[in-house]
A and B are shown apart, each in its own frame.
Chain A
Amino acid sequence: MHEAATAQALADLVLRKADERKARRVLSVELEIGELSFLEPEQLRFWLEANFEGTIAQGAELAITLVEPLVKCGDCDYVGRIQVEEDPAYHFMLPRFTCPHCGSARLRVEKGRESTIRRIELELVGDKH
């Protein structure tokens, strides 16, 4: 259940930022979730909404974007996706943690593990139309 813990940390961050600006309401939250973050977007959404309940972020629009993993090879210049092969024996796609160019196993994950609050939209206090 690490969605719950991560959602709480994300919600705290959003509310802290809103508080710093003395916002009246959080209107929207843009979130980037790496595919290697082991976070399930719909579960995360559920927990974020639960955390926002009763706060100024209740009802905020949540935009969750999935970030595709990006790996960098330690032996050649390859920067790109993780190799995926369809394995007919198992009827599904299997990742291969090797460089598709040189075959090296020294891959570093550059992107794909994030759970980043990219942007939030706030309605400020006292600035009524």
Chain B
Amino acid sequence: MKVVKKEESVVSIEVDEDPRRKDRELAQENRKLFDRNGVTAIDVMGSVGSGKTSFLTQVAARLKGKRRMAAIAGDLTTTIDAQRITDAGIETVQVNTGRMCHLDSIIVRRALEQLDLTKLDLLFIENVGNLICPAGFPLGSHKRAVVISVTEGPYMVVKHPYMFLDADVVLLNKVDLAEAMGVDPDALERDAHQLKPSIAVVRTNCLTGEGVDEAIEALGL
């Protein structure tokens, strides 16, 4: 710490500290914890109602008995999502964020205390329904999936480009409604690839399960 004396009673102190750096360091620790226990962690992000929970219930149905799974479900106030995932057969830790618009690495770390990682292969972290804030907060997950749906309109990708910066897979959900919504899924897919060519885009209908196998494959699960 450098201290510069300006006047007798005034000092200028170089601080050079970022409180959010701790968040990121803790995310790295979370990642190490996952790796040590052979757990693959997937962060699932997307707006409220895009289909994050439906996707997870579909995944649960497909991988049950093959992989040992658990989920952390973040929500502002309700336990609806956690209940749905639990009903689908995945042990779920409910996290109510209160007023917070995203999960962060500290919340995830606390939730992990309720899980036995040695007994898991896969951990799904369902983020708070929000297409902006979660992007700024790494959790330590191995892959990040973004669920967008055609009912959110044709501009979901271009209006929220930074959501896709660290994402690996985009689920383009509710494709069965594309025509009714007048939304072109090809255009949404093109937008995503223009933004980030390496991103995988999978079209899904998480109610019927269409495309879910492809999404599981795209996530490398």
Q: Interface on A for B, CB 8 Å cutoff?
A: 1-2, 5-6, 9-10, 12-14, 17, 21, 24, 27, 36-38, 87, 90, 92, 94-98, 103, 105-106, 109, 113-124, 127-129
Residue from A10, A94, A123, A128 in contact with B19 in the complex, judged by beta carbons closer than 8 Å: A10
**Chain B nearest Cβ from A108, distance in angstroms:** 10
Q: Is the CB of B6 within 8 A of A121?
A: yes
- The reply on B11 being an interface residue by CB < 8 A is yes
Q: Which chain A residues border B162 with CB–CB below 8 Å?
A: 36, 38, 95
Would you give the shortest CB distance from A22 to chain B, in whole angstroms? 11
Question: What is the bound-complex CA distance between A14 and B19, given in angstroms?
Answer: 10
Q: Given A38-B162, A87-B158, A115-B19, are A122 and B13 neighbors across the interface (CB < 8 Å)?
A: yes
Partner of A13, one of B17, B99, B135: B17
CB-based contact B18/A124 at 8 Å: no
Q: Bound complex: CA of A116 vs CA of B164, how far in Å?
A: 24
Q: List 10 A-B contacts (CB under 8 A).
A: A27-B10, A36-B162, A38-B132, A98-B196, A98-B197, A113-B20, A116-B18, A117-B16, A120-B15, A122-B10
Pick the residue among B9, B11, B16, B19 that contacts A12 (CB under 8 A): B19
Chain B residues whose C-beta falls within 8 Å of the C-beta of A37 in the assembled complex: 20, 136
Name the contact of B10 in the complex, choosing from A97, A115, A117, A121 (C-beta under 8 A).
A121
Give how many B residues have a beta carbon under 8 Å from the other chain's beta carbons: 37
- Give the interface centre of B8, B9, B100, B133 by most chain A CB atoms within 10 Å: B9
Contacts A14-B15, A38-B136 known; list 16 others, CB within 8 Å.
A12-B19, A21-B13, A24-B9, A94-B161, A94-B194, A94-B195, A96-B194, A97-B195, A98-B197, A113-B24, A114-B20, A115-B20, A119-B12, A122-B10, A123-B9, A124-B11
Q: Is B219 an interface residue (CB 8 A)?
A: no
Q: Which 6 residue pairs across A and B have the least CB separation, nearest first?
A: A9-B19, A105-B198, A127-B9, A38-B136, A116-B18, A97-B196
